[in-house]
Structures are given as structure tokens and as C-alpha cells.
Structure 1
Amino acid sequence: MRSLKLLFVSTSVGALGSGLGGGVELTLRNLAIALHQRGHSVTVVAPDGSKLESFSLVEIVGNLQTTAQSQGREAPITMPSNPVIGNLWSYVRQVQSCYDLILNFAYDWLPFYLTPFFTTPIAHLVSMGSLSDAMDQAILDVADSFPNTIAVHSHAQAQTFEMGFTYFNLQNGLDLSQYQFCLEAGDFLAWVGRIAPEKGLEDAVQAAAQTGLPLKIFGVIQDAAYWQQIQTDYPQAAMEWMGFLSTQELQKALGPAQALLMTPKWVEAFGNVAIEALACGVPVIAYRRGGPAEIIQSGYSGWLVEPDSVEELVQAIHKIPQISRTICHREAEMHYSLAALGDRAEAWFKLILQNEAID
């Protein structure tokens, strides 16, 4: 594929490196690396205060957008005063002619609405499942008018949208050189993610407590009241919040875990933390719900259990010794490397640009 000039437009709910953007932050970084390695030029536009080494970064000031998962299905489209989402896309409109393709990472109505008004094609990487009627309609409208421009991370994520549309399953990938394989397991369990109700941390706390294993919790506290409630409800639980760590710090702390617990109460689009754990050799125990169910091979790289069943989580924890940590690491290398991600991304971009040429 010829070398492309790509403009990445980051999520508007937080600065890159803050953790507020969840898995989108890691996805953007890894996709930028994968495409740079293939000779493509990548420039990133993101909210003020963002951090992204080794890439051209344009920081835009403005007030952050409210996360979609904190609103209801019928919530109206809103923006704060001096919205960073509007400022981001105002800048992108001004410079669009300098790029071959724009890649939108924001799960927000505005970029989808603006797509027909741009002359440079816009690709949309949808980071979550169906959360609002307005977003569902915006995604469908773009999919109908601009074929192949919508990508998702898993089939399970795409199936949450009741209205059918054609999509590209990009999945995800990691810079595996950033993760060290840890053959020997320690004496604790791990949980990684934004600390917010839809992530179901309380189930992991209960399961760990029943097995007598300490639980180390990694991630930004997005909902302080929720975190406080967990501490109040389970005062005797052996849990420790480790904070939001950089990739380098996280892989060192996560590597010795006996297993990673994934307990989402919603449909996870993919589950970057699952492949981060596998890269370190850590088995994953996850609810059979959403993206993790397409990553984990039950009985091989971890265990999939009935959603919302703490009892099954406990049973799976007792079966951790049956899982080979070497096989877990090999799964990450085979399916979720940057090379694999780059292959899929280029295939997606070719579809979009071919349609553009035909039009």
C-alpha cells in the first residue's frame, strides 16, 4: 500500500495519557505505531494536556465531553461551553486537505454528523457498543452513505446495534515489545480498568475474597462515589488500589498475577486489558459477554464464565493452574501483535480509499 498521510482525531472525554479515555488511548497509540512502522505518516489531534511520544501531536483547548456510558439511551445531544469536541473538529476541517484520510476515535455524535461536509474521507473506529438512540442513527447514516468507513473491535460489539450496517472488524493489537513474559505466578489476582459501575469491579472483589487471594486493582477512579461504595460494602476484602499506571509500569505489576479478572456489566467492545494480560503470560477469567469472549479460548488461555456469576468466577479461579502461561503469551503473539493490527488497518483503509476513487 502506498504511504498515506493520516490524521488521527482522539477522544474528547480526556487528554491522552490521563486514563479517562479508557482503552481508546492505548488503541490510538498502538495503531499509530503499527502504521508508522509501515511507512505511513501519522499526526494526532487531541485535547490539551495530552501526551504521546514520538508522534506529531496537536493539542486543542476546550471543555471535555461527558462520557456516553454515563448517559441514557434517549439523552439529547449536548456540548459544554467552549467544547473541545467542536474545537478539535474545527481544526481538522481547516487542515483536512493536507491528509489522505482522517481517523476518528471519538464515540460522539458530532464527527459522524460532520462526515458529509468534509472533502477528505473520514474513517470511524467505533469504540463502544450501542449506548444511545442518537449515536445509533448517526452511525447508520454514515454507514449507508459512506460504505466501509465504520470499524469495530469485535462482532459482539457490532451486534449490539439493532439497526444493521456493514462494518470492518479491526480487533486490536499491542506493541508486544513493551510487555515482559512472566512464567512464575505470584499470590494475587488482578483487575484492570476504569473504576466505574459498568466495569463491575464489585464482582471481582467478592470472588477474590471468597478464594482468599488479594486483589490488586489498576485504573483511574472515574466514579469516586462508586469506589467509595465498594470500600464500604466490602471492608474486610484484601484489595489494594494501585493507581493508573503507564504501560511499562502496568506490565511489570500485572505480570506476576495468577489471573486477570474481567467482570463488565456491559458489552465491552474488545478488552485491551485481556491481550495485555496474555502478553505477560497471565490467564484471563472473563464473563462470556462482549469482546473478551472473542479473545479468550476457555480452557486454553483462560476461562469464560456465565455473566454476573460470582460463583463461576470463584470456580474458575480454582482452575487457574490448568492454564499454561506460555500458551497465553503465544496467543498474544499470534493474533494481537502490531503487525497483525497493521495488516487489518491497511486492509480497511484500502476499502475506504477504493470507494473514494470510484465516487
Structure 2
Amino acid sequence: MLTSCLDIALIAHNRFPIRQPFSGGLEAHVWHLARSLAEEGHRVTLFASADSDVGSDLPGLTISPLSRSAAADRPFPLPGAVWESNQHAYLDLMGRLVDQHGHRFDVIHNHALHHVPIHLAPHLPTPMLTTLHTPPIPWLESAIGATGGAGSAFAAVSGYTAEDWRHVVADRMHVVPNGVDPGCWPPGSGGDYLVWSGRLVPEKGTHLAIAAAALAGRRLVLAGPIGNAEYFREAVAPHLSERVCYAGHLDQKRLASLVGGAAAALVTPLWDEPYCLVAAESATCGTPVVAFARGGIPEVIDAQSGRLVAAGDVAAMAAAIPEAIQLSRDAVRHSAVARCSARSMVTRYLAIYRNLIDERNSADHDWLLRASPRSRTPLPSDEHLRTSA
């Protein structure tokens, strides 16, 4: 019989710290998930970069640093130093999780985007869930292929992403959209400017937001980390003026204030976004979203929360802005909260955790030899069920 409180291990990647201001959507997601689980009364250990910070206000939430070599920490590391450091960090962590004796976690939730946790999952004494945050990437594909998915269940952040991974996880997969805490993204009163937020890199299409705002005759405020200095210097900086302002890399509270004060948010990816947390956050503030209809974005934004236009069509984006601004901000927020809330996400993940734990406890001794995604009890969170062709 399960107790109400679970011991949960969250495995993050080791590239960026899990702290504010966030480097991207994955870091924000893991930060909020860790805190939300702890707020529900569960004991959470986050395995992440040593300079991560999830706050000290939740006693059930602790950080266990993933080791990083001195060679990888140099300002200009030697080729391969970072890769090798991360490889050793995850080998060390998984070795400890495989060899647990005294304290045992009830469940492990893997967000690492690294192949080692997948490769060693069949040896774990603890059930593991791996969330797929990205399109298929070679080292994860090969790891899942090599193990057949044994030892880990899988979840995708959107139906689009689940379909993208269908050739690897062939039969069935959970779909759990990334959640947004309405308390952290309060309703804003709107204003006369547009907002664009995210990493300033070519694939996010910041330059197209600048062009669309100019066509619409609106001021635009940009916010986020500069992920590609050359792109910022050549495609963004020349346009900065009274009409286009860069607010910097803001912490969550200041970013929410900026987004909530905007008339509309522009989302301009040049790749297929697996989910698009930025769109969900903006809509939760009541700020209508005008976005390119790519990847998982149509699962985040509907007719009540914004407008979708053809990918790359700057003129269509500019034309849709006046219509989006006329949407009721209360209706925009209500739609986002109904479909993208953190509470719904946590509820779904907890149901998956408990199902995996029950399955492990009642399984025969052949548990480690079978691939869990192919034989588990269906859950309400299985929104994307499919059979192999």
C-alpha cells in the first residue's frame, strides 16, 4: 500500500543550472515541477548542476549536485571536456541509483536529455519515467533502441512530440503538457506594446517578430538570454530603437509583469517547437498570443487564447495582431489555465508515478527484461494512444 508522500528523484540535464533567470523552457519546467511536487507534500531530490537554486522555502526539496570536472569548468574547455564530464556525472549518478540500499526513491523522473540514464534504466531497482522534451536526437534514439525502452516509461510534452518519437517508442506513450502556475503568471492589464520572450537564437526567429511588429505599427519589447551573440549583433541589435527595446534576461517575476503588460505576445519559431512554454505563460497572463502554427504550438493556443498563422508568414502575423488584441483577456487566461495548468500537469505525473510503482511492486521477477511502455495499466493521462502498424 502506497503512502501519500513519495520520495521522488528528478534528474535534470547538466548544461545549464536550474535557477532563475531561466536559460530556457526546460529549466523553467524542471524548476516549477520540483517545487510543485514539494508543495504537494512529496520529498523531492533534484539532481542538477551545482549552481542550481530552487529556493530554500520548501524543506522537502533538496538539490544533489551533478559533478562537473575542472576541465569542463574552464572558460574555454578543451574539445570533448564537457561531453566527457557529463558522461562521468551521469554514470556516477546512475551507478548510485542502481546500487541503492538504505534510502530508496519511490520513483525516478528523468529530464536529462542524456543517453546514460536510458542505457542503465534496465538495471534500476526503482521505476523511472523519462519525459521527452525535444524532437528525436541521435543519442537518445540509439539508447532507447538499444534497450528497447526497458526500465523506463515515457511521456511527451505534446501529441506532436509523441508522434515525432513514434518510430522509437512504437506502441503507446503518455502525453503530459508542461504546466504553468497561474500564481506565478498572474493576469495583467495589457498595454500598447507587443512582447517577444525566449532565447535570442536564430531558430526562435526574433528578427521575424521585429518585422511583424513594424508592419503592425506597434512597439515591441524583447526579453530573454542572448544565446547566440553573432545573431543578436547582426539580426537584432541594428533594429533596437524607441520602437524595439531589449529588456534583458529577466527573472520570472519581472518577466511575468512585462508579459502581462503587453497587448499581445508574438511567437515566431523557425523550427517545430515540441511544446512552447512561452505561449502558455503569455496566455496564462491573459495576454493574447499570435504564433506561427508549428510543432506543438496549436495544442497550446486555441481560438480563445490567440491566433495562429502560417509558419514564417510575417505579413499574416502582422494582420492577425489587431484581431488578437480584441480578445477578452479573461477568456484568454481561462482557456490557458483550463488546458495548461501546473496542477493538471502534477496530477497527471503523480498518477503515472503511482501506476509505475504499483506495477513494479506487483511485477514478476522479469520486470527488468521487459519494456514498461508496452505493458502497463492505461491512465487518464494517456492522451496519445496508438498501436504499431
Q: Same fold (TM over 0.5)?
A: yes
Query: Which has the larger displacement, 215-224 or 330-339?
Result: 330-339
> Which of 326, 329, 332 is matched with 1:325 structurally?
329
- Tell me the percent identity: 26
Query: Which has the larger displacement, 253-262 or 316-325?
Result: 316-325
> Which of 341, 345, 349 is matched with 1:345 structurally?
349
Q: Which whole-Å CA distance do the structure 1 matches of 2:327 and 2:67 have between them?
A: 47
1:11-160 matches, within 5 Å, as 11-17=13-19, 21-53=23-55, 54=58, 55-62=61-68, 80=82, 83-95=85-97, 97=100, 98-130=104-136, 132-141=137-146, 144-146=149-151, 149-160=153-164
User: Could you tell me which residue of structure 2 aligns to residue 223 of structure 1?
Assistant: 228
* TM-score under structure 2 length normalisation: 0.81
Alignment check: 8 A CA contact 2:18 2:31 kept: no
Q: Which whole-Å CA distance do the structure 1 matches of 2:347 and 2:154 have between them?
A: 17
C-alpha displacement at 1:330, in angstroms? Answer: 0.9
CA distance 1:144–1:178, change in 2 (3 Å): closer
Q: Which whole-Å CA distance do the structure 1 matches of 2:22 and 2:185 have between them?
A: 22
The letter of the residue matching 1:116 is P
For the pair 1:258 / 2:260, whether they are aligned, the reply is no
C-alpha displacement at 1:242, in angstroms? Answer: 1.3
User: Could you tell me which residue of structure 2 aligns to residue 273 of structure 1?
Assistant: 278
Deviations 1:294-341 (A, max 9, x none): 01113x210011011111111111212331111111123222223211
The letter of the residue matching 1:341 is M
Aligned length: 344
C-alpha displacement at 1:138, in angstroms? Answer: 2.3
Alignment check: 8 A CA contact 1:13 1:21 kept: no
User: Could you tell me which residue of structure 2 aligns to residue 308 of structure 1?
Assistant: 312
Q: Which whole-Å CA distance do the structure 2 matches of 1:21 and 1:356 have between them?
A: 36
Q: Which runs of 5+ in 1 are unaligned?
A: 67-77
* TM-score under structure 1 length normalisation: 0.87
User: Could you tell me which residue of structure 1 aligns to residue 212 of structure 2?
Assistant: 207
CA distance 1:354–1:21, change in 2 (3 Å): farther
Q: Which whole-Å CA distance do the structure 1 matches of 2:220 and 2:144 have between them?
A: 38
C-alpha displacement at 1:56, in angstroms? Answer: 0.8
Alignment check: 8 A CA contact 2:94 2:117 kept: no
CA distance 1:142–1:333, change in 2 (3 Å): farther
Deviations 1:165-200 (A, max 9, x none): 222101121222122212x32111111111112211
Deviations 1:42-101 (A, max 9, x none): 11111121111132112234169x9xxxxxxxxxxx663651453244135325632111
The letter of the residue matching 1:5 is D
For the pair 1:189 / 2:194, whether they are aligned, the reply is yes
C-alpha displacement at 1:38, in angstroms? Answer: 3.0
Alignment check: 8 A CA contact 2:20 2:252 kept: no
User: Pairwise CA RMSD of aligned residues?
Assistant: 2.5
Q: Which runs of 5+ in 2 are unaligned?
A: 73-79, 368-389
Which runs of at least 4 in structure 1 moved beyond 6 Å after TM superposition? none
C-alpha displacement at 1:158, in angstroms? Answer: 1.9
